[in-house]
Structure 1
């Protein structure tokens, strides 16, 4: 009888250990699935980018009203700037366009998106000239000041118009991050302007590959 009780205790303990092992493994797997992009993230990205972005409706470079579902239907690289910017915005946009071209050669499609922070001057026509000079697939977006303010805040992208003294010829202070947005996953990467086009392409490729592997 004592031996049977001992065997039963061993059996129960073994079952409990198996359940604990399965639960721990399931938790580990769920974390792995939730963080499919972990190998691609660096710096602040490692802490996650939850909360960046929101639905929007803006006007594209052709004058059409478009939504985030249309613009961000595939992997996209968002940049906030303005076409009257004397140096930084053209350089950053050209870098982004070059990175997209590099990925095109690798069979990876990434759409560059330019969202103006200067809607008063950046009309659809002005945006069309700017984006057309950068990349054939680049999308330019503008809107009312309230719409631009809302979308910039959604991506925590600060900007400030310095038009108090001269309402026609002025500069705009703004952040220069580029945001990688993946359908079904939201904003997964934030890249600063110090990255070269090949480096940016390599970083973006990691995220695109990870999304494909995870079925996102």
Structure 2
């Protein structure tokens, strides 16, 4: 009788390990599907593709130029992180992707980003192509109508960190402690 109980326990353990392995494998396959090819323009009007996110560790923030607080705060903080990193951060690329391409033309993006940094590259383009990119990077963004016919955008407020292969590496939360953010960026530069 004891033998059958032990065999039953081992059989259940084998099934459990098999299920856990399957779940891990399925999760690994899903993680690999982060991002997608895109063809947009930078803030100088030059073509830019997903290749820009490969070859160097990358910090990407999705926002818009009419944003009242989150976007200017985050861009100001990003520039502070880059300053703190100094030459250590030379291999780190930084991007600001518009979730409001209808208003954020390359010229608008260039002027806006110029108020914060010369090391952050703006990305915009055809609204449909931008929204495809936003979805592929699992960013939340939606238009919110305001009184008087104007609108604002709700969007993810985290900075996405990508390794040199363009794969997801982590995030820096909105208004995260500057020391913690710089530590994450140093780790990205070292390991990514």
TM-score (norm 2): 0.77
Deviation, 1:50, is 3.5
Alignment partner of 2:133 out of 123, 133, 151: 151
- Cross-structure match for 2:108: 126
C-alpha contact 1:119 1:144 (8 A) present in aligned 2:
yes
C-alpha contact 1:124 1:142 (8 A) present in aligned 2:
yes
Deviation, 1:205, is 0.6
Please state if 1:209 is matched with 2:190.
Answer: yes
Alignment size in residue pairs: 163
Cα deviation 1:71-94 (Å, max 9, x = unaligned): 544211000000000111100111
Cα deviation 1:89-131 (Å, max 9, x = unaligned): 1001111121122122435532210000001110100100111
Alignment partner of 1:138 out of 114, 120, 124: 120
Report which stretch shifted further, 183-192 or 139-148: 183-192
Distance 2:146 2:118 in 1: 35
Distance 1:175 1:132 in 2: 22
- Cross-structure match for 1:20: none
Map 1:40-55 onto structure 2 (within 5 A).
49-55=31-37
Alpha-carbon spacing, 1:120–1:182, altered in 2? closer, same or farther (3 Å):
same
Give ranges in structure 2 of 5+ residues lacking alignment. Answer: 1-29
Alignment partner of 1:172 out of 129, 149, 153: 153
Distance 1:175 1:107 in 2: 24
- Cross-structure match for 1:186: 167
Distance 1:174 1:110 in 2: 24
Report which stretch shifted further, 169-178 or 112-121: 169-178
Alignment partner of 1:90 out of 72, 86, 93: 72
- Cross-structure match for 1:16: none
Cα deviation 1:23-59 (Å, max 9, x = unaligned): xxxxxxxxxxxxxxxxxxxxxxxxx943321221111
SS of the aligned residue for 1:70 comes to helix
Deviation, 1:63, is 0.8
- Cross-structure match for 2:93: 111
